[in-house]
Chains A and B, each alone.
Chain A
Amino acid sequence: MSLILPPDIVLKVDDLSIVYRTDRGDVKATANVSFELRNGQALALIGESGSGKTTISLALIRKLPKNALVTGGRILYQRNEKIKDVLELSDRQLREFRWNECAMVFQGAQNAFNPVLKIHRQFEDTAQSHGWTDKTAVRKRALSLLELVRLDPERVYDAYPHELSGGMKQRTLLALGVLLNPQIVILDEPTTALDILTQRAIIDVLNDMQRQLDFSIIFISHDLSLAAEMADHVATVYAGEIVELGAVNDIFYQSLHPYTHGLLTSVPTLEHAQDLLQSIPGSPPNLIAPPAGCKFHPRCAFADDTCSKDSPPLTDDVGGHLAACWHTDRLLASRKARV
């Protein structure tokens, strides 16, 4: 491929569109999604359930459900200045790509491990399938990773999955995720279903790991506080589209899209009183027949005729902070008026 990307870009998603074929029609789960991921970056995809966050992440390792169809776009992956389109990998190349280049830590690790195999067997399986057959070396690396995620390495490595607690399994899965030194780790709701202290521990572990092991993170969550803590960049996903994309502080303190703004005001903060909490009126649109124009307009306080006719492009309003909204200025004005 004659394509050239800046060397620090590990992933560039271009115009990705995905539909799910169902009996009632095509669900447009992802529409024209584009974003970049830089080396060492932690990008959070935030949005409501069903907004298409998980679809985007599953597409990155081509692990979409059978009825999904990629209708357009490219997923460019770069390592050592070699670029490949994930969507064009052969079955064999895809199998090698998975986990070696891009690992995914799934939502709810409770059942992520084969119940009849010991943990060490599952680490070895992963290594062997990618051509790494030296068990002693695998063991050495695995033990150091298990230590990094603050587990008792020897005990966990020789345990069956059912002998570990939920938080231990989640951390073991994180260790397994980086076993092959991937450039990208996708974390799908890594802390849901865990108690608050375990959540805390997982976040600390993740921060540690990223500092030491140098990989990029794509992080999917509806937990905004977690995103604020973990990510350096945030993309807001609404109805299968990225509606706002920017550095974490810009998104949280200077949101340019009414939907992001709505999400933020629906979560309590230390600074604001509880009674200022607002929920976003209405519900997410039907993705079989999404509304014309801006998909958010039926729920948006700033919407006018333009919004129901034309779909706003994701444009760079302020250096590197992108938003897809016709009325960014109105949002900013309203916020100024309130303060």
Chain B
Amino acid sequence: MVDLLQKAAKNYTVRVFVQAILTIWAVATLTFLLVREMPGNPIDVLIEQILTQEGVSYQEAYDRVAASFNFDPDASLLDLYLSWLGDLLRFDLGTSITSPGTAVIDEIARFLPWTVFAVGMGLLISFVLGIILGMTMAYYRDSFLDHSLSLLSSFMTGVPNYIWGLLIIIVLGIQLDLFNVGELRGTYDISLTPGLNAAFVLSVFKHAALPITTYVIATLGGWMLNMKSSTMGVLNEDYVNVAEARGLTDKRIISAYVGRNAALPLFTQLTIAVGFVLGSGVVIEEIFVYWGIGHYLFQSITVRDYTSMQGVFLILTMAVVFSNLFADLTYGLLDPRVRISGDK
């Protein structure tokens, strides 16, 4: 048994996995405390309301609120924390405080896929575009094209994504009237039945188009500039020079010799970007009234729904931690040099 544990402690995969779990636990604990330290408390607000409106005694108002909220405001923080943690181990995120009977995990399952879809599409498009444009800039460096694209990417990166979101709505939606902002609320046209039919899929893409565009604009510049400098480094490598001397076709050199090596460092940054974009997506989803996890989080914060907030924060944390873990474990597939000896 001890032997087995020692072996496990030495195994890279086990080690990073344990690290990931510890990180999630630490963030979850912090979230638990911070959420409760936020000013404003849903119970007090409602008790106050019942007191003034119905003129009942404090105790009665308190009992009614406590009953309807499925929440005991007198329980000690430690007790709450321990029972929450216990539930967590059973993947139970509890029920919503403000709408009793609704399991937080169900709500997350309802909202999260839309966010994953929008953020995933946005990152995928901007990553692929960024790699192509960045390589083009490196191949035509110091040309007019390179200079204009450099300027454009600095500008795109420099302006915060919520400004891009507002600009898109105000300039494209309202002033140029290219689309109806009101119709694009939500994640799909509610008159349609969800399923694999053309009208529904089209509607899904239409509703996600604006958030996706915003994510693309806000992250594209970074990929372009990174890919440009990475490609310029690779172009000076001996193996590219030798590949040209070997008479390889340009197509092969650009894809397998330059592109693949230059894109390697960007894959690590991609996982960092996942976390960043998920986090900043809260504001973007609110701007476009896109009903994803960010929208749900925003609603929960407004009414101080502790369990929902904890649930969303936990899920976002897990998304970031696991995408990092995924990158750690798969980087070796892309770059044979970092493969841990012994587990080829």
Residues of A within 8 A of B (CB): 61, 63, 95-100, 103-104, 106, 108, 110-118, 125-126, 128-130, 160, 162, 173, 176
Contact = CB atoms under 8 A, between A and B. Distances in A.
B256 interface: yes
B238 A108 contact: yes
25 contacts: A63-B244, A98-B246, A98-B247, A103-B246, A104-B245, A106-B242, A108-B238, A111-B239, A112-B242, A113-B239, A114-B239, A114-B261, A115-B261, A116-B260, A116-B261, A116-B264, A116-B336, A126-B246, A126-B247, A126-B248, A129-B248, A129-B249, A129-B252, A160-B337, A176-B246
B125 to A, nearest CB: 25
Contacts of B248: 95, 125-126, 129
Given A115-B261, A160-B336, 15 more contacts: A63-B244, A99-B247, A100-B247, A111-B238, A112-B239, A112-B242, A116-B261, A116-B264, A118-B336, A125-B246, A125-B248, A126-B247, A128-B252, A129-B246, A160-B337
A155 to B, nearest CB: 14
A96 B247 CA distance: 6
A97 B247 CA distance: 7
Interface of B: 237-239, 241-249, 252, 256-257, 260-261, 264, 334-337
A176 B336 CA distance: 21
Contacts of B237: 111
Contact of B245 (A63, A116, A117, A160): A63
Main secondary structure of the interface of B (DSSP, over half): helix
Contacts of A125: 243, 246, 248, 252, 256
B247 A130 contact: yes
Contacts of B243: 114, 125
A106 B240 CA distance: 12
Most buried by A among B238, B243, B247, B249: B247
Nearest to B261: A116
Given A114-B256, A114-B257, A95 B238 contact: no
A81 B244 CA distance: 27
A176 B257 CA distance: 17
Contact of A106 (B245, B256, B335, B336): B245
A108 B237 CA distance: 12
Contacts of B335: 115-116
Contacts of A118: 336
Nearest to B245: A104
A173 B241 CA distance: 13
Nearest to B338: A162
Contact of A129 (B239, B241, B247): B247
Given A115-B239, A116-B264, A98 B245 contact: yes
Contacts of B256: 114, 117, 125
